[in-house]
Amino acid sequence: MRGPHRSCEYGAVRPTAQHVMASMRCDIPGRVGRAALGRPEERLHDGRVLPGPGMVDASTLLVYIMDVYDPWAYAYLPSVSAVLSAACSLVDVEIVQSGHDTTGRSGSFAADVDAVRGATDACFGPQFLAAVRSGSLVVDAEAAAAGVIALLATEQMPVSTVLGAVQHEFFVCGQPLEAPGVLGRVATNLGLDAQAIELFAASARAHELAVEDFAVARDLNVGGRPLLLASRGDHLFEFDGLGASSQRLVDQFRTVLTRP
């Protein structure tokens, strides 16, 4: 997650529901209030227009809790990407990484992969599947999170593009982000300064931010699956999860923006 954290108490509300669920204690970064003047209207694929930047509550924040090594997050990304793309010029977007360590549980990780393959259209590469079958796929969740934080910290590429590139290396090519040369290759392919990103990813600060993310994710995401939230004022709005179409999530985002 980028930026400093702040402690706050929120009630969780689904965008399609009117009731308030039980309050939860959470830490969310104070990255709201970004200047929005001069931003164009966001037009969706169906021609409809999202509210202009001047009409959006300045406290609105889109929060995606996920981990790049979670196969369920890999399957959810195509739908989430539509919301992240629609939101980035209107509200602040934060990625909170939850940490998905396969160490000592290769069997359960393989079962998760099989479950995703059976329930979704997600496509896994032969190199990744071979590594899963052999049990040789071991990752360092904290180092991977630090790498993602370093890539996102440049703020030069769309969030969904960065996440997609990292997950492609892992779930298609079978290469963890923290493996030698992988982070630099991802950064170079994205047109970023690979050396600067590798240096920051290895820094104590990047690892501190990764650990902070894990703590926030534990507070917010009890179920452990990828979770998309919108924070506004004193409420959290929870989006539909796995299986929701990109249009469904964009419609829910529109509801969040237009709700009084």
CB 175 within 8 A of CB 169: yes
pLDDT at 236: 81
Could you count the other beta carbons within 10 Å of the beta carbon of residue 177? Answer: 26
Q: Round to whole Å and give the CA distance between 41 and 53.
A: 7
Q: Round to whole Å and give the CA distance between 152 and 48.
A: 29
Residue 215 in tokens: 């703590």
Q: Round to whole Å and give the CA distance between 157 and 155.
A: 6
Question: Mind listing the pLDDT tens digit for each residue in 84-104?
Answer: 988 888 888 999 999 865 555
> Exposed e or buried b for every residue in 89-128, given b needs 16+ CB within 10 A?
ebbbbbbbbbbbebeeebeebbebbeebeeebebebbeeb
Looking at every residue in the chain, the average pLDDT score rounds to 79
| Domains by residue range for the chain, with CATH | 5-30+52-258 (3.40.30.10)
Q: Which is more confident, 187 or 224?
A: 187
Question: Mind listing the pLDDT tens digit for each residue in 234-244?
Answer: 778 899 998 99
What pTM, to 2 d.p., does this model score? 0.79
